[in-house]
Amino acid sequence: MYKVILLAFFLITFSLFPAAAQTADRNSPDVFVAPVVEALGYSREGASFGFGVMAGAGNGIAAGIRLLYAFDTDEIYSLSLDVFMRYYFLGMDANTGIFIQPSVGMVILNTGEAVSFPSRSGSITLSMSAGWRILMTRNFFLEPAVRFGYPFLVGAGLAAGFSF
């Protein structure tokens, strides 16, 4: 029952915004900055929760960086810096809609236990994200996304940002 209510809420909420906001009518590349909140599965005991910021530029194919600090209730802390490439499915001039986003970067993990040298000083992180950029106005957007990767298993998050 709650799934039906949640779906109805999203459909009603997003139908209140004009469809014209979903068009990609800019002549210059989209430049965006957004704070990010995310839940990640670093361990089997529970989720890690994180916050950070991302920035990028491009229409159709965008490139950017993302910084995320995540923590859980069982002494796991991580700080990651990723670079990403994003592909929008609506075409080469798009800056909205469904996208996929591979990323690679560095992560520093603190598990509260003795860890090997590479993890303590930094390890590689790889991920593949899929999401949807929803333009609320011409310059404000929401981006729900899910991602899979290493060293976490799965993550889901929301970005709310501005494009210039």
**The pLDDT value given to residue 22:** 47
Q: Which residue has the higher pLDDT, 157 or 152?
A: 157
Alpha helices, DSSP H only, in 27-135?
117-121
* Alpha-helical regions (H) of the chain: 2-15, 117-121
**Mean pLDDT of the 17-21 span:** 46
C-beta of residue 70 within 8 angstroms of C-beta of residue 39: no
Domain-embedded: residue 15: no
Q: Collapse the DSSP code of 97 into the 3-class scheme (helix H, G, I; strand E, B; otherwise coil) and give the result.
A: strand
Look at residue 12 and tell me if it is in a domain: no
pLDDT in tens, 99-146: 999 999 998 877 666 655 555 567 889 999 999 999 999 899 999 999
- Please indicate, yes or no, if residue 7 is contained in any of the structural domains: no
- The amino acid occupying position 156 is A
Q: Could you give the percent of the chain with pLDDT greater than 70?
A: 73
Measuring CA to CA, how many Å separate 146 from each of 74, 142, 143, 164? 23, 14, 10, 25
Query: Is 13 a domain residue?
Result: no
**Number of domains the chain is built from:** 1
Range of the domain at 88: 31-163
In a domain, 20, yes or no: no
* Beta carbons of 79 and 118 less than 8 angstroms apart: no
Burial of 25 (0-12, 13-18, 19+ CB in 10 A): exposed
**Is residue 69 in a domain?**
yes
In a domain, 106, yes or no: yes
The pLDDT score that the predictor gives to residue 112 is 66
Which range (1-10, 15-24, 100-109) has the least confidence?
15-24
Structural domain contains residue 151: yes
Contact, 102 vs 125, CB < 8 A?
Answer: no
**Which tokens sit at 15?**
């139908």
Write the CATH number for 96.
2.40.160.20
Model confidence over 61-89: pLDDT tens digits? 999 999 999 988 667 788 999 999 999 99
Task: Write down the pLDDT at residue 92.
Answer: 77
